[in-house]
């Protein structure tokens, strides 16, 4: 069953296993963009902020994402980029604790580490970003830790943290839990409320298919909504932006985390992507993802003994991507792309595949296995055409 294949315009003739990096184009998005441009921007011009509901899009889109991550209405705000949302969420969490240590792991995406480090330096209050190995996180939850800041699913190998257990462990020691769902939203069955998490952030251009550079989202548990600290208090997070008061007075609830003018055209594309997600049950997606991943791993291991599985073998500890190690992974990836199988390379030695059952099925998985077998068995990667790295890998 591919519930929504028709809802996407997949690259012609390709097995697209890179939806974890950039989701494909929703079929309805071009017409939606055209309509928003012509009928709203073109016809309404500035009145579109009211008449077309532009100003409310950060909240209405947040409400559409909410069911996919176990959040409720009025809890998710859309806009800005993930790096910026992470800064805001971490600053908001730090405002709720006197402790100075932020605990994270070395599998985290570098931008999260850079942004956290930048924020902590900016605060100038002696905070420390403590980075431990992913398997050492639970043991490192000491009483010094104020915020546990983790990306649930590792971007390179797809290792998935136990969000419920680590959130509970953080709370037991008096820490808050902030989760980055970049490789979780639309990929695995996330239950933010059920886990009792404090804050979460994520992007919408990976598994959610919102388009290149699509806006990010931020979630805060309702129990924090009464005292949400916005470290980037732009005018649209103000309770009454059009009163143009000189002092920032935060809007109530999640709206107080808004920063600046929303990117309406990007949000139109994201809204079309959310139409494709309408009515999708994440538990079904998760089950299909695991079925396809198991098939892929078994097929590749049988045909390509030189490739070593880098992702966890235990499906419970895996997100929705499968990665293999090989010293020539970059060239292998290029040779695959030349054969219409699109995965990606992650330094230093990983070839990575996103498993996205919303629009792919066994046919793509089997085609990818066959192409990998051909490339590995014939050493087809060993070609100078595949040796030069592009700027974006």
Interface contacts to ligand PLP, rule CB under 6 A: 81-83, 109, 111-112, 151, 155, 180, 182-183, 203, 216
Which is nearer to ligand PLP, 83 or 261 (by Cβ)?
Answer: 83
386 as an active site residue: the answer is: no
Which is nearer to ligand PLP, 21 or 63 (by Cβ)?
Answer: 21
- Match 């012609």 to its residue by tokens: 12
Cβ atoms of 216 and 82 closer than 8 Å? yes
Quote the least distance from Cβ 81 to ligand PLP, whole Å.
4
Q: Which residues contact 127 (CB under 8 A, 6 or more apart)?
A: 94, 100, 101, 102, 120
Quote the least distance from Cβ 152 to ligand PLP, whole Å.
9
352 as an active site residue: the answer is: yes
Instruction: Count how many Cα atoms sit within 13 Å of the Cα of residue 312 in the half-sphere of its side chain.
Output: 17
Catalytic residue, from 105, 112, 180, 271: name it.
Answer: 180
Quote the least distance from Cβ 162 to ligand PLP, whole Å.
17
Which is nearer to ligand PLP, 40 or 198 (by Cβ)?
Answer: 198
Quote the least distance from Cβ 111 to ligand PLP, whole Å.
4
Which is nearer to ligand PLP, 216 or 273 (by Cβ)?
Answer: 216
Quote the least distance from Cβ 370 to ligand PLP, whole Å.
29
Query: What b/e string do you get for 208-228 counting C-beta neighbours within 10 Å, with b at 16 or more?
Result: bbbbeebbbbbbbbeebbeeb
Quote the least distance from Cβ 110 to ligand PLP, whole Å.
8
Which is nearer to ligand PLP, 16 or 109 (by Cβ)?
Answer: 109
Cβ atoms of 85 and 183 closer than 8 Å? no
Catalytic residue, from 8, 109, 155, 386: name it.
Answer: 109
Which is nearer to ligand PLP, 103 or 182 (by Cβ)?
Answer: 182
Which is nearer to ligand PLP, 63 or 151 (by Cβ)?
Answer: 151
154 as an active site residue: the answer is: no
Quote the least distance from Cβ 202 to ligand PLP, whole Å.
8
Bridge partner list, 159: 318
Catalytic residue, from 105, 352, 359, 386: name it.
Answer: 352
Phi, psi of 125 (to 5 degrees): -120, 20
Quote the least distance from Cβ 151 to ligand PLP, whole Å.
4
Which is nearer to ligand PLP, 155 or 324 (by Cβ)?
Answer: 155
Catalytic residue, from 4, 159, 160, 206: name it.
Answer: 206
How many angstroms separate the CA atoms of 279 and 276, rounded? Answer: 8
Which residues carry out catalysis? Answer: 109, 180, 205-206, 352
């Amino acid at each position: 069953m591919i519930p929504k294949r028709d809802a996407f315009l997949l690259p012609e003739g390709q097995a697209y296993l890179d939806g974890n990096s950039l989701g494909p184009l929703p079929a309805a998005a071009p017409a939606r963009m055209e309509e928003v441009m012509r009928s709203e921007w073109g016809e309404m011009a500035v009145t579109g902020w009211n008449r077309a509901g532009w100003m409310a899009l950060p909240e209405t889109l947040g409400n559409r994402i909410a069911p996919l991550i176990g959040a409720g209405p009025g809890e998710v705000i859309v806009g800005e980029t993930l790096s910026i949302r992470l800064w805001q969420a971490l600053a908001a969490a730090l405002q709720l604790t006197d402790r100075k240590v932020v605990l994270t792991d070395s599998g985290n995406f570098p931008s999260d580490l850079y942004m956290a480090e930048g924020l902590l330096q900016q605060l100038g209050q002696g905070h420390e970003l403590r980075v431990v190995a992913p398997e050492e996180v639970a043991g490192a939850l000491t009483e010094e830790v104020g915020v546990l800041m983790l990306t649930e699913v590792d971007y390179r190998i797809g290792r998935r943290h136990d969000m419920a257990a680590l959130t509970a462990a953080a709370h037991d020691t008096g820490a808050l839990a902030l989760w980055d769902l970049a490789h979780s939203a639309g990929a695995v069955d996330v239950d933010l409320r059920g886990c009792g998490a404090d804050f979460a952030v994520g992007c919408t251009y990976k598994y959610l298919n919102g388009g290149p550079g699509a806006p990010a989202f931020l979630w805060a548990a309702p129990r924090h909504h009464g005292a949400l600290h916005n470290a980037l208090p732009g005018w649209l997070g103000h309770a009454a932006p059009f009163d143009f008061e000189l002092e920032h007075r935060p809007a109530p609830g999640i709206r107080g985390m808004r920063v600046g003018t929303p990117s309406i055209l990007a949000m139109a594309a994201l809204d079309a992507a959310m139409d494709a997600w309408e009515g999708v049950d994440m538990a079904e997606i998760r089950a299909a993802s695991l079925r396809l991943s198991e098939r892929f791993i078994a097929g590749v291991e049988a045909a390509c003994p030189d490739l070593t599985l880098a992702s966890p073998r235990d499906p419970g500890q895996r997100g929705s991507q499968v990665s293999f190690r090989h010293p020539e992974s970059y060239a292998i990836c290029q040779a695959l792309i030349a054969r219409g199988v699109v995965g990606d390379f992650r330094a230093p030695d990983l070839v990575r595949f996103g498993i996205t059952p919303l629009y792919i099925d066994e046919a793509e998985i089997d085609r990818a296995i066959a192409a990998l077998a051909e490339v590995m068995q014939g050493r087809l990667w060993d070609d100078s055409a595949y040796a030069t790295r592009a700027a974006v890998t």
